[in-house]
Structure 1
Amino acid sequence: MKPDRIVDFIYDEVAALDEMRWEDWLSLFHEEGRYWMPLEWKQQDPIMQPSLMYEDRLLLTVRVERLAGERTFSQKPKSRCHHLLERPRILSLGEGDGVCKARTSFVYTETRGDQLERYSGWVSHHLVEENGALRIKLKRIDLINFDAPFGNLQLFI
């Protein structure tokens, strides 16, 4: 696996989010993919320890359908987001287990009406190849201020 392919995948993923192409973004997930936002620093277990979010493909699909729905009144006006990323750091090219790993520092901004929220941290991607395409097996978001009180995150970091 070439590192540039992984980097391009990560940039394309956040472009889909920033452009509100929810179905395109969801299609990047492996059938067993997970979206995880830990509640503790260096948390290792999303099942036995509480998390801010730990969503499988079904829950992600429900959220995407809600965001795309015309009768989602909590999204009037619609939320918008912007991801600012450092260049992803490649941690593994999948030697041995087939899982490519990358970690990316980010600043994420979400806005709706006159409300503006900003979050910073690191995103870890675990990617696998499936039928010639990369798919997200795990997207882990470690917020720098994970222990702060949060409003409602409407979109996806």
Structure 2
Amino acid sequence: MSTRGYSDRHLIDFVYAEARLLDERRFQDWLDLYTEDGYYWMPLSPGQTDPIMEGSLMYEDRLLLRVRVERLAGQRTYSQQPTSRSHHLLQQPTIESDHPWHQPDQGQYVVRAAFHYVETRLDQQALYAGWSTYELKDIDGALRIRLKRVDLVNCDAALRSIQLFM
């Protein structure tokens, strides 16, 4: 672990860069941002605290994320012919220094960003709104995502199939 701390600007820029990787369909580069024990979590109910004992829209470890990334790149993924596209519009991320996991002296940071996310394919377009909370960890001098939690405003609604990553 690096002994240097990260400035607020560095943490904020990391979140913007992560969203850009997704919008540019650079899914392998995005996956490389995750720790080996990292998770991508999208709760099914407002205020959900447990992804294991309660159902989630998504709760995927790095292996499942890799499978999804490979599927998105596959030539036989008919649900992606033509491919879906996305656009993230982020409010400036904030550093959540009161979060219990946020411990800069341990190389652990928590950043939160409200978003509007558009996913489109052919003549269908869906707009989602919510906020993402990132638990970031310094691994050998580079920030990595330990957990990305995506809370949708309407998480408990009947949602159409989400093809990409928010």
| Worse-superposed segment, 25-34 or 96-105 | 96-105
Match of 1:37 in 2: 42
What runs of 5+ residues in structure 1 fail to find an aligned partner? Answer: none
Counterparts of 1:98 and 1:46, CA distance in 2: 24
- 1:147 aligned to 2:156? yes
- 4+ residue segments displaced more than 2 Å: 92-98
Please give the TM-score of this superposition, normalised by the length of structure 1.
0.97
> Which amino acid is 1:141 matched to?
V
Structure 1 residue 81 and structure 2 residue 86: aligned? yes
Q: Which runs of 5+ in 2 are unaligned?
A: 1-5
Match of 1:8 in 2: 13
Q: What does 1:126-145 correspond to in 2, within 5 Å?
A: 126-145=135-154
1:99 is aligned to 2:108: yes
Q: Are the structure 2 counterparts of residues 96 and 48 from structure 1 closer, same or farther at C-alpha, using a change threshold of 3 Å?
A: farther
Deviations 1:49-84 (A, max 9, x none): 111100000000000000011121110010000000
How far residue 131 of structure 1 moved from its aligned partner, in angstroms, is: 1.1
Whole-Å Cα distance in 1 between the matches of residues 9 and 145 of structure 2? 16
Percent identity over the alignment is: 54
Distance 1:41 1:71 in 2: 36
Q: 2:22 aligns with which of 17, 27, 38?
A: 17
Partner amino acid, structure 1, of 2:119: E
